[in-house]
Structure 1
Amino acid sequence: TLEDCPSWMPNVGYNRHTKLYVMVYWSSRYGFQNSLVPLAISASPLGPFVNVQPLKMQGGMVISDTTSLFVDDDNTAYVRYNTRDAPLKHVVEKLSPDWMTSTGQFSIIFEKQDYPWYDGGGMFKRKGIYYTMLSFDCCFCQWGSDARTFASTDILGNWTFVGQLNYCADGRAPPDHVTDMSINPCSINDPFGTNFTVPAQQFNVATLPISCEETLYMYYGERFRSSTDGLKGHDFQAWIPIEFMDDDSLLPMTFYANFTVNIQ
């Protein structure tokens, strides 16, 4: 069972060595307060998940508002998180073989000195290259957020900015900075003006093998304030295919009305 306090962003991976399903999630018990990340385990993907000793991250003193789990091809697991202590950092940190503790090995993906901070997002691996996203913190906004994408050939090495995946709907790039998280970067003076192309705040990337030779990478994000009854738990999500050009560079996302996935 999850804790009896606000929690979000559950990420579950299967450790094929321990044969346990491991959940990393964000909890207000630790977030904004210390460097702990809650951890829960189950023998089944359906649960129940039971909390165990939380992970103590080494890449920052105070975890901010996003945490996620990434599992590499060799079963090595990493936690991707952002920090609140200065400078504001986005970090990926390696876990022990049983995924129950940190190894203390980490890499800083991006850091900045000032607010508003950037939220973390999905991480995936394609053709030996690791990718991760980060975005403006829009604090449950309806206009969505961007998807600044970084890449590295070594997950614990140096990360390089490679492009913006989510432009404003009018084709403009969002500014590098806004003065407050309540400001719409695509329409500075009108929160109900132009939205991002995909009006969602990114949460993660789903890696979906659809054939023996092809893997589909799906951005997914929360479309805050999209529910008809106003309940946050009823908000819609956006699921968008991440597309690449022939030279393997990333294409900006398109907010498709619908698309078909062919699974072989």
Structure 2
Amino acid sequence: RGRVGDFNIFVDDDGTAYHVRTGFDLVRLNANYTGPDALVSSFTTPKSSEGPAMFKRNGTYYITAGTGCCACIGGSTIYVLTASSLAGPWTYRGDVGSNPTPFDPHSPNNYVTRAQGSAVLQIGGNGPSGQTIWLGNQWNSGLLETPPGPRNHDLLYWALLSFDADGAIEQLTRQRDITVVLSPCGGGPCNPGPTAAKRSTSEEAPVLAT
């Protein structure tokens, strides 16, 4: 059914895994995560999109996806959809990846991150105290290396997402770096305290500080 490329895997709190894919379908996987079990729901975006990623925060399910831009330098939109149930309905919440004002002559479509969505990473759980990070491929950025690197050497842009009181993802702004709070031992009794990891969004290697 539909296209199956550019997929991501989401695992819910009960351990059930779901395959979210360009197409756009959400399919529950079998217990071994090796094949499909059932179609759960479908969703649409304003324009043809790809690279969906899924996460859960405070009981709400989120899907992000961007307009198709195969190996484009300019980046992509970041469409956001939410649902209170995996069965839907999925509600379109807007595009948080397009800059409302011109800012970059090298990004003709005026996208904030100049990247296309790849995945979403959550650190510290999926509650209000956790951190949610959007990851995007900066296609062709490997060409800036000396000597130029292949496509799979492209940089990965990290954007720390912020949410308003209603759980909506706030409009992204260009981030030079982000600080991620790590908890050794998973927050257990051996936890000596949080460690801050400063992660450059593109140009630099990570810098760790305690």
Aligned length: 179
**Given the alignment of the two structures, is residue 71 of structure 1 paired with residue 11 of structure 2, yes or no?**
yes
Mapping of residues 125-204 of structure 1, within 5 Å: 125-168=56-99, 170=101, 193=108, 195-204=110-119
State the partner residue of 1:103: 37
Residues 240 and 155 (structure 1), Cα distance of their counterparts in 2 relative to 1, 3 Å cut: same
State the partner residue of 1:250: 169
State the partner residue of 1:217: 132
The 3-state SS of whatever aligns with 1:259 is strand
Q: Percent identity?
A: 23
State the partner residue of 1:231: 150
**Counterparts of 2:20 and 2:126 in 1: how far apart (Å)?**
28
Q: Normalising by structure 2, what TM-score?
A: 0.76
- C-alpha displacement of 1:197: 0.7
Q: Find runs of 4+ consecutive structure 1 residues off by over 6 angstroms.
A: 210-213
**Counterparts of 1:137 and 1:91 in 2: how far apart (Å)?**
17
Residues 108 and 223 (structure 1), Cα distance of their counterparts in 2 relative to 1, 3 Å cut: same
Match of 1:208 among 123, 131, 141: 123
**Counterparts of 2:119 and 2:88 in 1: how far apart (Å)?**
21
**Counterparts of 2:9 and 2:88 in 1: how far apart (Å)?**
18
The 3-state SS of whatever aligns with 2:6 is strand
**Given the alignment of the two structures, is residue 121 of structure 1 paired with residue 52 of structure 2, yes or no?**
yes
When the two chains are superposed, the root-mean-square deviation of aligned CA atoms in Å is 2.6
The 3-state SS of whatever aligns with 2:152 is helix
Counterpart contact for 1:123–1:133, Cα < 8 Å? yes
Counterpart contact for 1:134–1:148, Cα < 8 Å? yes
**Counterparts of 1:132 and 1:230 in 2: how far apart (Å)?**
31
More helix by share: 2
Counterpart contact for 1:169–1:197, Cα < 8 Å? no
**Counterparts of 1:212 and 1:101 in 2: how far apart (Å)?**
29
Structure 2 residue ranges without an equivalent (≥5)? 183-193, 195-210
- C-alpha displacement of 1:210: 7.0
Counterpart contact for 2:119–2:136, Cα < 8 Å? yes
**Counterparts of 1:157 and 1:76 in 2: how far apart (Å)?**
17
Residues 98 and 211 (structure 1), Cα distance of their counterparts in 2 relative to 1, 3 Å cut: closer
